Amino acid sequence: MDKQLKESLIEDIGEKRYNHSLRVMETAIDLGQKYCTDIDKIKIAAILHDCGKFMDRENLLKMAYDFGIIVDTCMEHNPELIHGPLGSKIAEKKYKIKDREILESICYHTTGRENMTILDKIVYIADYIEPCRNFPGVEEIRNLAFKDLDKSILLAMEKTIIFLIGENKIIHPDTVKARNFLVIKSN
Ligand code: DGI
Ligand code: FE
Ligand code: FE
Ligand code: FE
């Protein structure tokens, strides 16, 4: 990995999160080979996917406003959701990424969205199944990701939605739209 990129990322998001990003990248590369997608794009999107997940959480909202991100009600109630859109802006401004597809996959990596691109899907599910994720049921989704990408994402989203309901958290409309789209497509 590029030394400067590595150092900059570690400074912003910490070594643990950087190592997670490396694992997401390796997983995403495996998926990219399976689904014949542009590996160079995958590498950039995956290594940067959490670049907005600053260790300094206090400033997240302020940074979002500074970058002109429209913070919706759901994000206000759950600042965790800001790191996707914020990361997309950081990738653009700080890491000079111009490719819209890469920037969008970073933006939507937490919620998903309607009609996801193959790059969106690979980043989303690689984040969910990277080797250190160890929650119940992850192995099934890990295997499924290499057999039926849409089905694995649908399962991951449904598990996430059920988890959020259990935590009494609100579901972002993009998460709902992403799931609805996949359900309609699978019928
Ligand atoms: O950044 P990571 O931890 O690597 O992973 P991520 O960006 O996928 O974030 C996962 C978290 O985001 C997890 O705690 C569930 C939460 N999340 C995902 N979709 C929604 C959500 N939280 C809310 N409130 N609403 C959502 O729709
Ligand atoms: Fe994330
Ligand atoms: Fe995720
Ligand atoms: Fe992540």
- CATH number, domain of 156, equals 1.10.3210.10
Structural domain including 69 reads: 3-186
pLDDT per residue over 121-175, tens digit each? 999 999 999 999 999 999 999 999 999 999 999 999 999 999 999 999 999 999 9
Band the pLDDT of 54: cuts 50, 70, 90. confident
What per-residue confidence (pLDDT) applies to 45? 98
Residue 58: pLDDT above 80?
A: no
What per-residue confidence (pLDDT) applies to 59? 82
Residue 2: pLDDT above 90?
A: no
Q: What DSSP string describes the chain?
A: --HHHHHHHHHHHHHHHHHHHHHHHHHHHHHHHHTT--HHHHHHHHHHTTTT--S-GGGHHHHHHHTT----HHHHH-GGGGHHHHHHHHHHHTS----HHHHHHHHTTTT--TT--HHHHHHHHHHHHSTT--STTHHHHHHHHTT-HHHHHHHHHHHHHHHHHHTTPPPPHHHHHHHHHHHHHH-
Task: Report the separation in Å between the CA atom of 53 and the middle of ligand 4, taken as the mean of its atom positions.
Answer: 9
Nearest residue (CA) to ligand 1, atom 1:
50
Nearest residue (CA) to ligand 1, atom 7:
110
Residue 84: pLDDT above 90?
A: yes
Choice from 48, 110, 116, 167 to test ligand 1 binding pocket (greatest atom count within 8 A of CB): 110
Which residues make up the environment of ion ligand 2, defined by Cβ < 5 Å?
A: 50
Mean per-residue pLDDT for 12-23? 97
Tally of structural domains, the chain: 1
Band the pLDDT of 13: cuts 50, 70, 90. very high
